[in-house]
Amino acid sequence: MESGVILSGSANIYYELYGEENDSVLVLLHGNGESGRSFKKHIDILKDRYKLLVIDSRGHGRSEFGKAQLSLGTMSVDLVNVIEHFGFEKVSIAGFSDGANIAMLTAIKNNDLIDRLILIGGNYNIHGFTLGTELMLRAGYLCSCLGAFVSPVNRFNKEYFSLMVKEPNLKKEALSVIRAKTLVINGNKDMIKTSHARAIADTIPNAQLKIVDGDHFWIYRKPEEACKVIDEFLSE
């Protein structure tokens, strides 16, 4: 395993690289408030078949915040910078939650870079959440904004909530430019509405939808099943 940091703009982005001897590159992108460590079980299963690039998104894990406010767009730029640092011409991406959203933004602007795309619990705007989840996130964001006035430490909570409330903010039609073969995965008890996941799959030209038995965190609760689904799709 190789690990280190790569400077992207004003932030050092932490990465880990596994299975360096393998040819196919698979990038794993975690969700909001997490880090690459969330994929520990998945790495153990997949590293014998793929060259795994695991990144801590900006402001998460061992990656720095940098000088700019956190945004999924900046995280997408970071991702491309890390990929280009290694000289990878084509990669597949499996992203969970905000990781899926970063993957979508990356694919929209970098079609030639993406081989296959796996979007797990992603959304293209806040209305993809169930109503109860959306209201909870908006309330959390409001509280974090108030907290930021009390203590500078709460600024980070505000930025994390902002990622979920304000981003991504795409029109569905923006997804139609994605050319990578895509698998959209959503749990049947997910906080992302099934109708929203279906809209993503219907709009991306070469996409399919898979509904799994589980909640939003299915990928972590059932790592063996998740890796099997990922591997089968990448092997098609």
Percentage of residues in the chain having pLDDT higher than 70: 96
Alpha helices in 87-116 (DSSP H): 98-109
Domain ranges of the chain: 2-125+170-235, 129-167
Predicted local distance difference test score (pLDDT) of residue 156: 67
CATH 3.40.50.2300 fits 2-125+170-235, yes or no: no
Residue 75 DSSP one-character state: H
Q: pLDDT digits over 38-88, tens only?
A: 999 999 999 999 999 999 999 999 999 998 778 999 999 999 999 999 999
Nearest-10 crossing angle of helices 131-150, 154-166: 150
Please count the other Cβ atoms lying within 10 Å of the Cβ belonging to residue 198: 14
Q: How confident is the model at residue 154 (pLDDT cuts 50, 70, 90)?
A: low
Predicted local distance difference test score (pLDDT) of residue 33: 92
Q: Is 90 exceeded by the pLDDT of residue 202?
A: yes
Pick from 19-33, 55-69, 99-113, 149-163: least confident: 149-163
Q: Is 80 exceeded by the pLDDT of residue 10?
A: yes
Residues 6+ apart with CB under 8 A from 223: 41, 42, 45
- Strand-pair category, 11-18 with 51-55: antiparallel
Q: pLDDT digits over 107-143, tens only?
A: 999 999 999 999 999 999 999 999 999 999 999 878 8
Terminal-to-terminal C-alpha distance of the chain: 27
Q: Tell me the mean pLDDT in the region 204-218.
A: 98
CA dihedral 31, 35, 39, 43 (to 10 degrees): 130
Q: How confident is the model at residue 152 (pLDDT cuts 50, 70, 90)?
A: low
Distance CA(6)–CA(109), nearest Å, equals 21
SS3 76: helix
Please give the helix or strand (H or E) that residue 119 lies within, else none: strand 114-120
Predicted local distance difference test score (pLDDT) of residue 58: 96
pTM score:
0.94
